[in-house]
Amino acid sequence: MNLKYKIMETVSSVDIDGQRYLMDSKTANYFSLDPISIYVWEMLKESNDFETIVIRVVAEYNAQKEDVIVDIQSFIHDLIENGLLKVVS
């Protein structure tokens, strides 16, 4: 199944000193992102589905698809668990 996601309305991102942070205004929690997570976050903002995100990360970073799938699943799981993202389809 090719899932799509929606960023929660209470979440915003900010760049501070070259580092990207996500902030949930509902909980006042902050989360820092590494460069690949930033790339994935930007694709989530564009409403890309899971498979599209995987394909683009594999191409952009010349990475193994299996590794990318595991890493993106973990990142998305963390976002959902922290209330920053939800599955829409």
Q: Is residue 89 part of a domain?
A: no
Residue numbers of the domain that contains 25: 5-83
Q: Is residue 77 part of a domain?
A: yes
Q: What is the pLDDT of residue 62?
A: 97
Q: What is the pLDDT of residue 1?
A: 63
State the pTM of this model.
0.92
Label the pairing between strands 19-24 and 11-16.
Answer: antiparallel
What amino acid occupies position 59? Answer: A
Structural domains of the chain, count: 1
CATH number of the domain that 21 lies in?
1.10.10.1150
Q: What is the pLDDT of residue 18?
A: 86
- Render each residue's pLDDT in the chain as its tens digit; 89 residues: 689 999 999 999 999 998 999 999 999 999 999 999 999 999 999 999 999 999 999 999 999 999 999 999 999 999 999 999 999 98
Query: What distance in Å separates the CA atoms of residue 76 and residue 87, rounded to the nearest whole number?
Result: 10
Query: What distance in Å separates the CA atoms of residue 56 and residue 78, rounded to the nearest whole number?
Result: 20
